[in-house]
């Protein structure tokens, strides 16, 4: 009982540490590292006999090494990732893939001591941010790796390509003799076959420097990065790291199973905050505002006591399928209505005034250019649809 109480206290303290890092907005890598420690502690704690047991179930007759192909779910996740990033229209991207078994096999044949696998893995994972020389200096100077071992690692991790690189490494005289590396390369070769069938192999690169420094990954790992586009005048280079990532973690869920059964798992996550950061940077560079609404036109009044007329017009626009709105004040000032459109990114304003009512027209104003034209009321819907058929900024 005393041992369990001590372990429960460690779980509580580690949980507080993870929550504290999230509140401090620490780096994702640091949070994930501490979260992995928390999960290990919870696994050591085991089930609480006083609570309902958590039972893990896999599909009946599930056999990961038999009738079920383990690479189909991985290929499907990569297909989903590509579809999501393409639909967001945030620019050209590349998905880098690797396999933790290949990494571990590579470290073994290069002469990395078992005790240094994870710490050297975290160094390799920095290659997308710093040069190989800097990574090597960290391995040798800070982590005590022999220089010749670091050089051998460098020969591998600076390679990237497609299925041809996989086939080349399958013939490598050292890697081909390592069981883990051979399994990983075999699965990657199969994965590329499925990616070709899915029509996305041109978006995928086998990158030996990809490490995803988390202990719970057991097989294929991947992350998506935006490809740098030429910087236009006034723009800053966009540097946000990966915008999506994932991999296979067959041992993670089983940590919570009292019987330690292996539950195959694969998944991905999308970096929503990073994607928003990209969109905001690009809109700022183009001096465009982020649209916070889908509204196409605001129905406004130029004088007081025109609330009923505004309600009539907004109803007409709704019936015609136009996304319209109006301010709820009875007598809003015209300037306030125009400022609201600018802040929310509403492109058009339909202005009703006493003179417009007499003339049977609506004054249609472009918020961006501030140009105004009188449009006959019966032609207003067609004119709004014509103007809003132009593509708007992505937001």
User: Any idea what the CATH number is for the domain that residue 148 is in?
Assistant: 3.30.930.10
Given the structure tokens 């140009």, which residue do they identify? 371
Instruction: Name the band, by pLDDT with cuts 50, 70 and 90, for residue 122.
Output: confident
Q: Are residues 177 and 209 both part of a single domain?
A: yes
Over residues 308-358, the pLDDT tens digits come to 999 999 999 999 999 999 999 999 999 999 999 998 889 999 999 999 999
What is the per-residue pLDDT for 358? Answer: 94
- Which residue range is the domain that position 27 belongs to? 1-45
**229 has a pLDDT exceeding 80:** no
DSSP secondary-structure letter at 389?
A: T
Higher pLDDT, 29 or 237: 29
- Quick one: CA dihedral 24, 29, 35, 37, positive or negative? negative
Instruction: Name the band, by pLDDT with cuts 50, 70 and 90, for residue 240.
Output: low
Integer Cα distance of 48 and 160 in angstroms: 47
Q: Are residues 112 and 246 both part of a single domain?
A: yes
Q: Are residues 81 and 35 both part of a single domain?
A: no
Decide: 254 and 56 in contact? Cβ < 8 Å: yes
| 394 belongs to a structural domain | no
| 54 belongs to a structural domain | no
Decide: 220 and 201 in contact? Cβ < 8 Å: no
| 166 belongs to a structural domain | yes
Q: Are residues 331 and 369 both part of a single domain?
A: yes
**235 has a pLDDT exceeding 70:** no
What is the per-residue pLDDT for 201? Answer: 94
- Quick one: CA dihedral 156, 160, 166, 168, positive or negative? negative
User: Any idea what the CATH number is for the domain that residue 21 is in?
Assistant: 1.10.287.10
Domain limit, last residue, from 229, 252, 286: 286
In sequence order, which residues have a C-beta less than 8 Å from that of residue 216 and are 6 or more positions away? 36, 39, 249, 251, 252
| 50 belongs to a structural domain | no
Q: Are residues 248 and 277 both part of a single domain?
A: yes
Q: Are residues 34 and 71 both part of a single domain?
A: no
In sequence order, which residues have a C-beta less than 8 Å from that of residue 224 and are 6 or more positions away? 81, 85, 93, 94, 95, 96, 242, 243, 244, 245
Domain limit, last residue, from 253, 286, 319: 286
Domain limit, last residue, from 236, 251, 286: 286
Q: Are residues 178 and 307 both part of a single domain?
A: no
User: Any idea what the CATH number is for the domain that residue 343 is in?
Assistant: 3.40.50.800
What is the per-residue pLDDT for 141? Answer: 93
Q: Are residues 250 and 329 both part of a single domain?
A: no
| 256 belongs to a structural domain | yes
Q: Are residues 272 and 301 both part of a single domain?
A: no
* Mean confidence (pLDDT) of the chain: 85
Decide: 80 and 244 in contact? Cβ < 8 Å: no
Higher pLDDT, 243 or 281: 243
- Number of C-beta neighbours around residue 244 at 10 A: 24
| 346 belongs to a structural domain | yes
> Tokens standing for 316?
């007409």
Integer Cα distance of 348 and 333 in angstroms: 17
| 282 belongs to a structural domain | yes
Over residues 166-225, the pLDDT tens digits come to 999 999 999 999 999 999 999 999 999 999 999 999 999 999 999 876 678 889 999 999
What is the per-residue pLDDT for 56? Answer: 55
Decide: 225 and 94 in contact? Cβ < 8 Å: yes
Q: Are residues 143 and 243 both part of a single domain?
A: yes
Largest Cα separation within the chain, whole Å, is 89
Instruction: Name the band, by pLDDT with cuts 50, 70 and 90, for residue 233.
Output: very low
Q: Are residues 92 and 214 both part of a single domain?
A: yes
Integer Cα distance of 53 and 200 in angstroms: 42
| 292 belongs to a structural domain | no
Over residues 134-154, the pLDDT tens digits come to 999 999 999 999 999 999 999
Q: Are residues 69 and 124 both part of a single domain?
A: yes
Say how many domains are in the chain: 3
């Amino acid at each position: 009982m005393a041992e369990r109480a001590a372990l429960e206290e460690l779980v509580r303290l580690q949980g507080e540490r993870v929550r504290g890092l999230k509140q401090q907005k620490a780096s994702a890598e640091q949070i994930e590292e501490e979260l992995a420690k928390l999960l290990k502690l919870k696994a050591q704690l085991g089930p609480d006999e006083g609570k309902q047991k958590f039972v893990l179930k896999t599909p009946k007759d599930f056999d990961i090494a038999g009738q079920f192909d383990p690479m189909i779910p991985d290929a499907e996740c990569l297909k989903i990732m590509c579809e999501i990033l393409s639909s967001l229209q945030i620019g050209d991207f590349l998905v880098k893939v690797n396999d933790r078994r290949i990494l571990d096999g590579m470290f073994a044949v290069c002469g990395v001591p078992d005790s240094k696998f994870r710490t050297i893995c975290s160094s390799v994972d920095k290659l997308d941010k710093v040069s190989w020389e800097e990574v090597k200096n960290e391995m040798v100077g800070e982590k005590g790796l022999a220089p010749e071992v670091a050089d051998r690692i460098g020969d591998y991790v600076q390679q990237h390509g497609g299925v041809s690189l996989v086939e080349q490494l399958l013939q490598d005289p050292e890697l081909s003799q390592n069981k883990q590396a051979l399994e990983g390369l075999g699965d990657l070769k199969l994965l590329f076959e499925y990616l070709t069938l899915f029509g996305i192999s041109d978006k995928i690169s086998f990158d030996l420097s990809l490490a995803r420094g988390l202990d719970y990954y057991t097989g294929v790992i991947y992350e998506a990065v935006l490809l740098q586009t030429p910087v236009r005048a006034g723009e800053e280079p966009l540097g946000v790291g990966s915008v999506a990532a994932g991999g296979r973690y067959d041992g993670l869920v089983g940590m919570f199973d009292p019987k330690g059964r292996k539950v195959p798992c694969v998944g991905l996550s999308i970096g929503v905050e990073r994607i928003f950061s990209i969109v905001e940077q690009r809109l700022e560079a183009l001096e465009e505002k982020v649209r916070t609404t889908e509204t196409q036109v605001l129905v406004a009044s130029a004088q007081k006591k025109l609330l009923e007329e505004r309600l009539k017009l907004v109803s007409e626009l709704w019936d015609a399928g136009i996304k319209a709105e109006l301010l709820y004040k009875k007598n809003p000032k015209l300037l306030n209505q125009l400022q609201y459109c600018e802040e929310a990114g509403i492109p058009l304003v339909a202005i009703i005034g006493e003179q417009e009512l007499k003339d049977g027209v609506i004054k249609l104003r472009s918020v961006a250019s501030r140009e105004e034209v009188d449009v006959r009321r019966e032609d207003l819907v067609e004119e709004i649809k014509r103007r809003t058929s132009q593509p708007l900024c992505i937001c």
